[in-house]
Amino acid sequence: MRSLYLSHPQVKVDPEVPVPQWGLSEVGRARAEAFAARELIAEGAIVFASDERKAVELADIVTASWGGAVITDPAMGENDRSATGFLPPEKFEETANRFFAAPMESVDGWERAIDAQRRIIEAVAGAMARVRPGQTAVFCGHGGVGTLLKCYLGGWAIARSEDQSRLADPGGGNGYVFDLMARKLYCDWTPMEDLTAELIEGV
């Protein structure tokens, strides 16, 4: 069954606020609203989201036109980076590189990549059990765990080279279409502006 994974677009960065509580920035919200306005998601789709604010805001925008409910699950959240809290961009990039390069290790107290990957796979599998035949499933989440899920689907080793920042819009707001049961990818990370109904629905 084809499903869409969407990473949240740009956020309001605030070092004084815990990262899971960051919301979408004006740019991020405008991108999400433009995506929703294209009506690529069929009415009646089932939409899942991490319980982090930025993912929920994206999901709310996606479902606004038909008033669909959003099902949140903390297990779909981004890799746990609370051990370090906010990191300046240069330090974050260096730490993220090590996170992907050593998936069996905890980098500076971060959740291990292998554990985050297992968590997101199990969360998506559990969610798919709630999807009716023919119903579109959309997952609103994050770039890190989205990449870990993508690596599993593609049968690839965990690697930063598969991250959205390397393949699509570095600010987020990217997606890919997949089939979990078939363990198949229909596309790689793609900016939300370039996603099409034909790709999402397979028609």
Q: Is the pLDDT of residue 152 over 90?
A: yes
Cα angle 180-150-10, degrees, rounded to a multiple of 5: 120
Whole-angstrom distance, CA of residue 164 vs CA of residue 15: 23
CATH topology of domain 2-201: Rossmann fold (3.40.50)
Q: What does the pLDDT read at residue 187?
A: 98
How much of the chain exceeds pLDDT 90, in percent?
94
Q: Which one-letter amino acid corresponds to residue 172?
A: G
Over the stretch 107-135, which tens digit does the pLDDT of each residue have?
999 999 999 999 999 999 999 999 999 89
Q: Is the pLDDT of residue 144 over 80?
A: yes
Q: What does the pLDDT read at residue 79?
A: 98
Q: What does the pLDDT read at residue 91?
A: 97
- Per DSSP, the three-state class of 160 is helix
Whole-angstrom distance, CA of residue 60 vs CA of residue 180: 24
CA distances 22 to 9, 52, 81, 134, Å, are 12, 8, 14, 34
> Does the global pTM surpass 0.95?
yes
- Per DSSP, the three-state class of 39 is coil
